[in-house]
């Protein structure tokens, strides 16, 4: 092996290791690209989702804002956040908002619970993505649930939120509305203003 080949191989390892260690997951970074299959293709209208088809410089009509939230089925704050994200999705999807939720459960019984919750019980209309082997969770460096990334139309992370508690850490609804260019008003329990 030549010195040049070894240097190239070393660079590849460093780049790969940085991606696996969660580089590219903080405010100001470019969101790491991915594609994943969905649990709810009928309701969401998507069999798989490609991030680079929703945001970024190459997209002709990118979403104005993308909410990317990681969860697992046993996470109680996640179960509170997900219905809220559904309200946001229904209210602002026509204004350019895309909500993507990534499930990181790996065991069959947990996946069965996810399907029951997502499809049968809640009927979420945003895509719920499968990250069964936690590859994307590792790439984004997600250590607790829920973790949400707010991504702009160019694919840059504009905010990272860990946890969900509307009383102590309210969702930045006014900022979301400003970025979407819609009237700033509260979101009621029914998802209407």
Q: What average pLDDT does the chain have? A: 86
Closest-CA residue to 78 (of 144, 136, 173):
144
pTM confidence score = 0.84
Answer whether 32's CB lies under 8 Å from 140's CB: yes
Per residue in 87-99, pLDDT (tens digit) is 999 999 999 999 9
Nearest to 155 by CA among 18, 32, 15: 32
Q: Which of 44-48, 166-170, 186-190 is predicted least confidently? A: 186-190
- Which of 3.30.365.10, 3.40.50.10800, 3.30.70.600, 3.40.30.10 would CATH assign to domain 25-180? 3.40.30.10
CB atoms within 10 A of CB 19: 16
**88 within 8 A of 176, measured Cβ to Cβ:** yes
Give the per-residue pLDDT at 188. 64
Q: What angle do CA 160, 166, 167 make, to 5 degrees?
A: 125
């Amino acid at each position: 092996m030549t010195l040049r080949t070894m240097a190239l191989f070393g660079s590849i390892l460093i780049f790969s290791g940085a991606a696996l260690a969660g580089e590219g997951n903080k405010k100001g970074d470019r969101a790491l690209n991915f594609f994943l299959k969905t649990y709810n293709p009928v309701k969401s209208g998507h069999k798989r989702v490609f991030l680079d088809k929703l945001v970024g410089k190459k997209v002709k009509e990118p979403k104005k804002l993308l909410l990317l939230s990681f969860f697992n089925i046993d996470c109680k704050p996640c179960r509170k956040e997900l219905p809220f994200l559904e309200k946001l999705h229904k209210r602002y999807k026509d204004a350019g908002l895309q909500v993507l939720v990534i499930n990181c459960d790996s065991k069959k019984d947990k996946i069965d619970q996810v399907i029951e919750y997502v499809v049968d019980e809640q009927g979420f209309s945003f895509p719920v993505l499968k990250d069964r082997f936690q590859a994307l969770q590792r790439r984004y460096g997600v250590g607790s649930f829920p973790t949400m990334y707010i991504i702009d139309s160019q694919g840059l992370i504009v905010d990272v939120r860990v946890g969900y508690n509307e009383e102590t850490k309210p969702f930045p609804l006014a900022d979301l509305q400003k970025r979407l260019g819609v009237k700033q008003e509260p979101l009621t329990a029914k998802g209407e203003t």
